[in-house]
Amino acid sequence: MSDAAIDAVDHAALKSADTETLRAAIRAGRYRRHTAGLATGRLQANLAIMPERVALDFFRYCQRNPKPCPLVGVTDTGDPRLLTLGSDLDIRTDAPAYDVFENGERVATVPDIRELWRDDLVGFAIGCSFTFEHALEEAGVAMRHVAMDATVPMFRTTLETVPAGPFGGGMVVSMRPIAERDLARTVEICRRYPLAHGAPVHVGDPAAIGIADVSAPDWGDPVPVRSGEVPVFWACGVTPQNAVRRARLPLFIAHSPGAMLVTDVDERAEVPVLDT
Amino acid sequence: MSDAAIDAVDHAALKSADTETLRAAIRAGRYRRHTAGLATGRLQANLAIMPERVALDFFRYCQRNPKPCPLVGVTDTGDPRLLTLGSDLDIRTDAPAYDVFENGERVATVPDIRELWRDDLVGFAIGCSFTFEHALEEAGVAMRHVAMDATVPMFRTTLETVPAGPFGGGMVVSMRPIAERDLARTVEICRRYPLAHGAPVHVGDPAAIGIADVSAPDWGDPVPVRSGEVPVFWACGVTPQNAVRRARLPLFIAHSPGAMLVTDVDERAEVPVLDT
């Protein structure tokens, strides 16, 4: 089916849609863009899909690096369902877009991975920053990149992750400017969300974690830090993606940046498991 | 070396010892009993050691059942160190006693597992209730079983865990009587410790989760529930041990009940990873 033949819907049209409607549009290939602000209140997740051969080491990598890699779900080998995150969730079709990597290089971006699915694949779902951003906004701490309609700025750092098997490398962080008077409660609120990167990993001087120019991010858009504000840095879900690319697996599949898997789990749930 | 030849130390003598002194006594085989109240403030952990062949499924089981099975560490295959929990931590020697299971049946209790260690073994460390008990006691919520010098009562329930591979079965819970006036803050405090079983899984009527007689525990000692108190039930670390025994693995090794692995990590740390 060509793009032109798809009865596409846009972000604005889906803003008030419930999770089921949103998922149906995504599954049908009718929505292929970012999920920020959609299905508000539901846990969204990064996806990392790889052969079982390296899955135990990737599990270890996430366990040892819980701030950049907060695991919220994992499939059985060869089974595309994430039963603890949704009764009808299929990781082959339910993210709006997927990036496909071979030997660490992106070779394609596709709307679903039905034709790429294999019996030896394992899918991991990793928590994302949308959860704590909502919590901060509800507490009156504004997110400037949201107000700017921009992508949060992300940076490589000199903070090293704890390695496991072929996985390792530097931590990637996201930056949000926070008013000095809001710092303490920002940290306190975020600490309540261990499945969404938790408390910041660094507050203040960017150079202390190897960032030469806080106005020149490695990914995302520049966001200004104003007088009376401090740059605050959170562990970022790009970290595991970089770790996997660095391992140069023959095949690795991720969601496309910002186009997350929307789950049925309440983003404020104590644990990422549907009531059974 | 016979038991008589060991220059044994007792619990009282170790009560004020630091973590290093305690670990040295345990490693030398001089202390083989329970670790409640020792190395106060350090994270203690259940141990589950099994062949790599089933390690990916056990990882999945823990991820899907985070309240009974809060993972705090995992070794590389064949490597007895837990580097994220201590710079000098050896799971072959650093728990006071180990239970060895073959085909689901306990065949031995030993002071170390140096001679049983194999290149294909993987060790998992799982958080334990000591952490939230300390937090509750510091907040003035008394733990009756501690005051009685008894083992917390534990029960089989009709709550089912989410299965993974050969692992599954019912959830085991521990019970502590809590005064009605302390209920709300008990739940609120425990929710802050997701690595120590988190908030209770049930409050009140024992029959609702399949417990016929709350004065007759399946493990541990009976603890009375007095007038003005409610029985409160937490997910318990015996759950994964039962799940593994139920899988009838040819070899499975656990710490002996109550004789936990004492780590170097602060039990109030946001994540179970030593500062690097």
Residue B202 has pLDDT above 50, yes or no: yes
Convert the pLDDT of each residue in A103-157 to its tens digit.
999 999 999 999 999 999 999 999 999 989 999 999 999 999 988 988 899 999 9
pLDDT of residue B6: 53
What backbone phi and psi angles, to 5 degrees, belong to A71?
Answer: -65, 130
Question: Could you write out the DSSP letters of every residue in B83-129?
Answer: TTT-TT-BTTTSSS-EEEEETTEEEEEES--TTT--TTEEEEEEE-T
Nearest-CB residue to B199 (from A122, A198, A270): A270
Nearest C-alpha in B relative to A161: B276
pLDDT of residue A83: 95
Nearest C-alpha in B relative to A192: B192
How far apart are the CA of A148 and the nearest CA of chain B, in angstroms? 31
User: Cβ separation of B74 and A60 shorter than 8 Å?
Assistant: yes
Of all residues in chain A, the percent with pLDDT exceeding 90 is 88
User: Cβ separation of B60 and A74 shorter than 8 Å?
Assistant: yes
pLDDT of residue A9: 85
pLDDT of residue B37: 86
State mean pLDDT over A237-261.
94
How far apart are the CA of A11 and the nearest CA of chain B, in angstroms? 32
**Cα B65 to Cα B56: distance, rounded to the nearest angstrom:** 14
Nearest C-alpha in A relative to B53: A56
Is the Cα torsion angle A81, A83, A84, A87 positive or negative in sign?
A: positive
State mean pLDDT over A218-228.
95
pLDDT of residue A97: 96
CATH number of B130-239: 3.30.2040.10
User: Cβ separation of B191 and A270 shorter than 8 Å?
Assistant: yes
Specify whether the CB–CB gap between A253 and A49 falls below 8 A. yes
Largest CA distance in chain B: 54
User: Cβ separation of A198 and B52 shorter than 8 Å?
Assistant: no
Contacts of A60 in chain B (CB under 8 A): 74, 76
pLDDT of residue B11: 86
How far apart are the CA of A200 and the nearest CA of chain B, in angstroms? 11
pLDDT of residue B215: 96
Convert the pLDDT of each residue in B6-52 to its tens digit.
567 888 889 899 999 999 999 999 999 889 889 989 999 999 999 99
Contacts of A73 in chain B (CB under 8 A): 63
What radius of gyration do chain B's Cα atoms show? 18
pLDDT of residue B276: 53
How far apart are the CA of A80 and the nearest CA of chain B, in angstroms? 14
Residue A214 has pLDDT above 60, yes or no: yes
User: Cβ separation of B162 and A276 shorter than 8 Å?
Assistant: yes
pLDDT of residue B13: 87
Convert the pLDDT of each residue in B205-235 to its tens digit.
999 999 999 999 999 999 999 999 999 999 9
Residue B5 has pLDDT above 50, yes or no: no
**Residue B4: band (very low, low, confident or very high) from pLDDT cuts 50, 70, 90:** very low
Residues A68, B66, B152, CA angle at the centre, nearest 5°? 130
Residue B166 has pLDDT above 70, yes or no: yes
Contacts of B52 in chain A (CB under 8 A): 56
How far apart are the CA of A64 and the nearest CA of chain B, in angstroms? 7
Interface residues of B toward A, Cβ cutoff 8 Å, are 52, 55-56, 59-60, 63-67, 71, 73-74, 76-77, 83-84, 122, 160, 162, 164-165, 191-192, 194, 198-199, 270-273, 276
User: Cβ separation of B65 and A273 shorter than 8 Å?
Assistant: yes
Q: Mean of the per-residue pLDDT values for chain B?
A: 94
How far apart are the CA of B56 and the nearest CA of chain A, in angstroms? 5
Residue with tokens 């050691």: B49
pLDDT of residue A276: 53
**Residue A10: band (very low, low, confident or very high) from pLDDT cuts 50, 70, 90:** confident
Nearest-CB residue to B63 (from A67, A74, A194): A74
Domain with residues B3-128+247-266, CATH architecture: 3-Layer(aba) Sandwich (3.40)
pLDDT of residue A6: 53
State mean pLDDT over B75-90.
96
Interface residues of A toward B, Cβ cutoff 8 Å, are 52, 55-56, 59-60, 63-67, 71, 73-74, 76-77, 83-84, 122, 160, 162, 164-165, 191-192, 194, 198-199, 270-273, 276
Q: Mean of the per-residue pLDDT values for chain A?
A: 94
- ipTM, two decimals, is 0.94
Residue A2 has pLDDT above 50, yes or no: no
User: Cβ separation of A74 and B66 shorter than 8 Å?
Assistant: no
What backbone phi and psi angles, to 5 degrees, belong to A99?
Answer: -105, 130
Domain boundaries, chain B: 3-128+247-266, 130-239
Please count the helices (runs of H) and the strands (runs of E) in chain A. Answer: 7, 11
Number of residue pairs across A and B with CB atoms under 8 Å?
70
How far apart are the CA of B198 and the nearest CA of chain A, in angstroms? 8
Convert the pLDDT of each residue in A74-89 to its tens digit.
999 999 999 999 999 9
Q: What is the DSSP letter of A96?
A: S
Residue A191 has pLDDT above 70, yes or no: yes
Convert the pLDDT of each residue in A18-47 to its tens digit.
999 999 999 999 999 889 889 989 999 999
pLDDT of residue A36: 87
**Cα B5 to Cα B30: distance, rounded to the nearest angstrom:** 10
The residue type at A76: D
**Cα A172 to Cα A98: distance, rounded to the nearest angstrom:** 20
State mean pLDDT over B248-272.
94
* Run of H or E including B245: helix B238-246
pLDDT of residue A3: 46
Specify whether the CB–CB gap between B120 and B77 falls below 8 A. yes
Collapsing DSSP to helix, strand or coil, B179 comes out as: strand
Residue A64 has pLDDT above 70, yes or no: yes
Nearest-CB residue to A66 (from B65, B160, B271): B271
